Amino acid sequence: KAGVTQTPRYLIKTRGQQVTLSCSPISGHRSVSWYQQTPGQGLQFLFEYFSETQRNKGNFPGRFSGRQFSNSRSEMNVSTLELGDSALYLCASSLELAGGTDTQYFGPGTRLTVL
């Protein structure tokens, strides 16, 4: 089975621009979560989608948004980029077993650099 794939792997943008990142989960996985990873803050939860609906949301400003398609693929969008948005963005998918017992499988991430 193919793992979680994320595209693109690397992105360089300038302040004020917007960006869209894509995530394809493992086949059969319906839950997709996004995380921001930075050296100082570690992994911070952005949001989780399940069956095309946002089920959980972290403490990020409204500039960060996402969506999930009927095939479970997910995109996240960041508008009006700021220097502090430079980070590794990780996507994780899971089968959605009861109560959080399932394993999250992570993609390799998209490294976003904002200049």
Residues at the interface with other proteins (CB under 8 A): 4, 33, 35, 41-45, 48, 55-56, 90, 92, 99-101, 103-109
Minimum distance between the CB of residue 53 and other proteins, rounded to whole angstroms? 11
Task: Calculate the CA dihedral of residues 13, 10, 6, 103 and round it to 10 degrees.
Answer: -110
Minimum distance between the CB of residue 50 and other proteins, rounded to whole angstroms? 9
Helix, strand, coil % in the chain, rounded to nearest 5 = 5, 50, 45
CB-side neighbour CA atoms (13 Å) of 93: 24
Q: Is the CB of 13 or the CB of 58 nearer to other proteins? A: 58
Q: Is the CB of 56 or the CB of 80 nearer to other proteins? A: 56
Would you call the peptide bond into 61 cis, given omega within 30 degrees of 0 as the criterion? no
Minimum distance between the CB of residue 12 and other proteins, rounded to whole angstroms? 17
